[in-house]
Amino acid sequence: MTVKTKLFTAIAFCALALSSCEKNNTDPIVDPSEIIFPEDISSFKEVATIDLGAATASEISAYDPSTKKLFVVSNDGGTKVEVVDLSAYPTVTKMQTLTYPNNAGINSVAVSNGLLAIALNGVTPQSNGDVVVLKTATLAEVKKISVGAMPDMVTFSPDGNYIISANEGEPNDAYTIDPVGSISIIDVKNNYTTKTLDFAGFESAKASLVAAGLRIYGLNASFAQDIEPEYVAVSSDSKKAFVTLQENNAVAEVNLVAGTITKIQPLGTRDISLAENAFDVSDKDGKKQLGTWPIKAYYLPDAISYFVTNETGYLALANEGDTRGWTGFNEEVRVKDLTLDPTKFPTAATLKLDANLGRLTVTKAFGDTDGDGDYDELFSTGGRSLSIINATTGVLVANIGKDLEQRVIDAGKYDDDRSDNKGVEVEGVTVAQVNGRSLAFIGMERVDMIAVYDVTIPSTPKFKQLFATGDAPEGLLFVKPKDSPNGRSLLIVSNEDDGTVKFFQPDKL
């Protein structure tokens, strides 16, 4: 008998013989999170939408099933959290606005067990920020916790015992102030006791980490200053956190119980000379076509999602490709503006044409391997893909890149103007269970679309669907059927450039 059948049978039996279903019944109770709801995994459609304002009015969202409230980060005209009522879903209405006027931006929200955590910058982006905790029912403040500079992403562990903040520590535009990047672990059950950890302890391992693909190159920066934590995922047992270090091209592993950073996993590069990694590198070649080129690409992941298959943990990485493009230090350059080593690039003049590699954005911080002033290798910025790696070993299991971009091209949605930069710009990802399958929802900022892949077998992802969102999808939030306002799987997409939040659900089977 299936889990779903057992549940329905138990409900029917209770209705017929209530006395047999008293609270002291010792029969095993089905965990609602394990129920397989009959839904078509290839049929997500927009069911509802809400417009919260102009650009930046909708960035990251968090949902509370107990109150049916959605909390949405907004930096449109101030530092705010919009509170949205889903109790009459699919009718969606704005309830109120929480304002935080004395902070230099709001970055993230998360919900667990009736608590809302809000990540706020300090009075300047380079000063220490705060995590503010509220009760979702009353919106009363419970605690305000000081964390590191620029808390870019906040999340709860699955058991609700920890709040984890990735404190990016970006420099100012002149690159004269550069705070250390850090990770804060907030112990909810221990009166919000906080440990803020930096990466100074890895300084001695710098050479080996760089050789493995870590990027350490900030202007006059120490190792700790150079690290910039971006996004957090937590293992299902709530013991480990995994944090993307986007500009550094790596993932950090954190032991939440011990309160230590245990590992930095460099991600290496993607070889674009291989057919399976083909890129469209030019916006001036008059075509939308993926091809191979003598370049490599740093992955530079933004969002990260943890999932388990056959008792093995995996990480899905959205390889967006953010770089350091400040007035005081800008690593970005077009290939045509570089001097290429004539031995390594004997056809340099042809490669540097605008219709070829000429306009492609690469980094000038890496590639002059012998220090003679010309470039022996070319490194593009961003993997233009979703990578799946083994959470324990860091081994690359699959890379959804060429197939992803080709499907966007075939759908007539590819923005060729971005071919010389980040392509479809994979920014968001969440992996969730739908109808017993592990689905990766992949947000592509530059083409305003979500791609859905079945990653139940992580090494062989299977394409399932491609659908449009609002302008520049930023935050992807999946709500399980047991928690959603109408008992069905729900994908909530916050769209940064048009200020909308859109709600997608699959068809029932």
Q: What pLDDT, in 10s, does the model give residues 207-258?
A: 999 999 999 999 999 999 999 999 999 999 999 999 999 999 999 999 999 9
Q: Write the burial class of residue 291 (CB in 10 Å: 0-12 exposed, 13-18 middle, 19+ buried).
A: middle
How far apart (Å, rounded) are the C-alpha atoms in residues 76 and 481? Answer: 31
Residues 63-68: what's their mean pLDDT? Answer: 98
Residues 300-304: what's their mean pLDDT? Answer: 98
Question: Is the pLDDT reported for residue 153 higher than 50?
Answer: yes
Question: Is the pLDDT reported for residue 164 higher than 60?
Answer: yes
CATH topology classification for 31-505 = Methylamine Dehydrogenase; Chain H (2.130.10)
Ramachandran sector of residue 153 (left: φ over 0; alpha: ψ -120 to 50; beta: rest): beta
CA proximity to 75, closest of 97, 95, 49, 92: 97
Strand order, beta sheet including 162-167: 151-156, 162-167, 182-187, 193-198
Residues 395-424: what's their mean pLDDT? Answer: 98
Given the DSSP bridges, would you call strands 61-64 and 69-74 parallel, antiparallel or unpaired? antiparallel
35 pLDDT band, cuts 50/70/90, is: confident
How far apart (Å, rounded) are the C-alpha atoms in residues 123 and 454? Answer: 43
CA proximity to 336, closest of 288, 378, 382: 378
pLDDT digits (tens, 9 = 90+) for 314-331: 999 999 999 999 999 999
Residue 3 is predicted with a pLDDT of 39
26 pLDDT band, cuts 50/70/90, is: very low
Given the DSSP bridges, would you call strands 332-334 and 61-64 parallel, antiparallel or unpaired? unpaired
* Per-residue CA distances from 247 to 155, 170, 267, 300, 388 (Å): 21, 10, 11, 6, 19
pLDDT digits (tens, 9 = 90+) for 368-394: 999 999 999 999 999 999 999 999 999
Range in 36-40, 269-273, 434-438, 489-493 the model is least confident about = 36-40
Which sequence spans correspond to the domains of the chain? Answer: 1-30, 31-505
Return the number of other C-beta atoms located less than 10 Å from residue 33's C-beta.
10
Residues 428-451: what's their mean pLDDT? Answer: 98
**Percentage of the chain modeled with pLDDT above 70:** 93
Residues 465-491: what's their mean pLDDT? Answer: 98
CA proximity to 384, closest of 460, 288, 470, 298: 298
Residue 410 is predicted with a pLDDT of 98
Residue 307: both structure tokens together:
């999932």
Q: Residue 106 is inside which H or E element, if any? A: strand 106-112
DSSP codes, 339-406: PBPTTT-TTHHHHTSTTTTTT-EEESSS--TTSSSSBSS-EEE---EEEEEETTT--EEEEESHHHHH
